[in-house]
Amino acid sequence: MSNDAHACESQPDHDGVSIRGEPGRESLDQPGPSLERKAKLFALLYSSHEVDRRFRRIHEAMLDQSPQIRAADFTVIGTDDLERLFAHYDREFFQGRLGEMLIEDGSHPAAFRLSRRLTSAAGQTLRRVRRVNQGGRSAIRVDYEITVSTTLLYNTFAGHERTVTVGGLVCSDRLEALQRIFEHELLHLAEFLGWGCSNCKASNFRALSRRLFAHEAPHHDLITPREQAKAAYDIQLGDLVSFEVEGVRRRGVVNRITRRATVLVEDHRGRLYSNGKHCIPYYVPLALLRKENGAS
């Protein structure tokens, strides 16, 4: 299952990453993307040995400095940990250039968020452009937000025996997976700052990812809620299941799986679905479902 992210132009795409506004130099008050910035970012180049050395240094620093991350397979994380990761990565890999560009654009600090709702993509980077009033005149404000999926992080290294890769690289613990997810999102941020748009399926992103982090692929393969549902409960899309609501047992078909399952129960009061039936959706914890035999 791919949990990659893609960003460019002005709308959200299927991987959940979006930017709003037009890319490029939007105001004389903001330096914005430029040939000089592109050159500064492309000048960064590390051997695979050097990447691993710096990666390990950040891994050890997080375990040493974070109040929450006390083990490599941590069970608690805070947004301050993402701020801490940014500071480490900007220093170790970007020579402070991301922070400098954010300050130049009036976009410092970037915002960081943890999400339980992000279940199909491991991370997401947003670029928001808006008009603000500064000293009585209109100006452009650009903000950035990096989000990491805690649902996918906590599903991973939770007793499931399979190889986990992020950026095409094998991860041996949850902190390694977090770091490589974060590296991917920092590449989106770097492209936004240098080029004005970002697309992890394009050659520019892939070249940067190899030069900076020795990534071998733009996609991730973490354990998704669908995979967890199949492994833990033998539940998958299209299964006929039953569950109890206020003492009444209902039967329906699993239509979607995130942190809970969306079960469509046939009911003439419901709306018409593509299966040609009127259904009411119920959002049910996976542990409360019982798999049934036969057709719905």
d(CA 231, CA 67): 32
CA atoms 89, 92, 94, 98: torsion sign: positive
- Over the stretch 148-179, which tens digit does the pLDDT of each residue have? 999 999 988 887 678 899 999 999 999 999 99
Average pLDDT for the chain? 87
Pick the CATH number of 227-291 from 2.60.40, 1.10.3470, 2.30.30, 2.20.25: 2.30.30
Domain ranges of the chain: 35-223, 227-291
Question: What integer pLDDT is reported at residue 1 of this predicted model?
Answer: 43
- Over the stretch 82-101, which tens digit does the pLDDT of each residue have? 999 999 999 999 999 999 99
Beta bridge partners of 133: 138
CB 86 within 8 A of CB 64: no
Judged against a pLDDT cut of 60, whether residue 219 lies above it is answered with yes
Strand order in the sheet with 240-245: 278-284, 261-272, 248-257, 240-245, 290-291
Judged against a pLDDT cut of 70, whether residue 245 lies above it is answered with yes
Query: Is the whole-model pTM more than 0.85?
Result: no
Q: Residue 275: pLDDT band by 50, 70, 90 thresholds? A: confident
Question: What integer pLDDT is reported at residue 294 of this predicted model?
Answer: 61
Sequence-ordered strand ranges (E) for the chain: 111-115, 123-134, 137-149, 164-166, 169-171, 220-221, 240-245, 248-257, 261-272, 278-284, 290-291
Q: Residue 238: pLDDT band by 50, 70, 90 thresholds? A: very high
